[in-house]
């Protein structure tokens, strides 16, 4: 079994205030954000290719819609964090994160769990749609 490092997970638990606090939040973001964006771009590209293969079937799939809604919400959550909370990082860079940062980290974690679960659910529910047609 191959294990990969998931920088986004360490980012969430750091924002929740339960991770190793030996690094500042700016160090953690500088180290993980580029890799996170690269991984997201690769996954989005692969997902787009899969979607275009059977767009009508996926569009009518409820778990697929749940996944897409949660992806949009996760993007909005990240945008709000970087626009509203992160500019004040100098105030809490070494200390405990404020409620807004903990909330953004918690919401990200919950949304990504739903996205992964819905993605797995899509794979099991599309078989039903294939046999119904």
Domain boundaries, the chain: 7-132
The CA distances from residue 76 to 29, 81, 83, 98, 104, in Å, are 18, 8, 10, 19, 10
At 132 the pLDDT is 54
Residue ranges, the chain, pLDDT below 50:
1-8
Query: Residue written as tokens 């996944």?
Result: 67
pTM of the model: 0.77
At 129 the pLDDT is 52
At 59 the pLDDT is 87
């Amino acid at each position: 079994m191959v294990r990969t490092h998931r920088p986004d997970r360490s980012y969430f638990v750091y924002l929740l205030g339960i991770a190793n606090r030996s690094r500042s939040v700016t160090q953690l973001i500088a180290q993980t954000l580029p890799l996170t964006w690269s991984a997201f771009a690769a996954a989005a590209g692969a997902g787009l290719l899969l979607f275009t293969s059977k767009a009508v079937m996926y569009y009518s799939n409820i778990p697929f819609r749940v996944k897409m809604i949660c992806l949009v919400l996760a993007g909005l959550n990240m945008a709000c964090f970087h626009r509203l909370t992160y500019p004040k990082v100098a105030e809490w860079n070494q200390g405990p994160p404020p409620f807004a940062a903990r909330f953004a980290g918690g919401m990200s974690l919950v949304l990504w769990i739903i996205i992964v679960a819905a993605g797995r659910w899509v794979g099991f529910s599309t078989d039903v749609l294939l046999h119904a047609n």
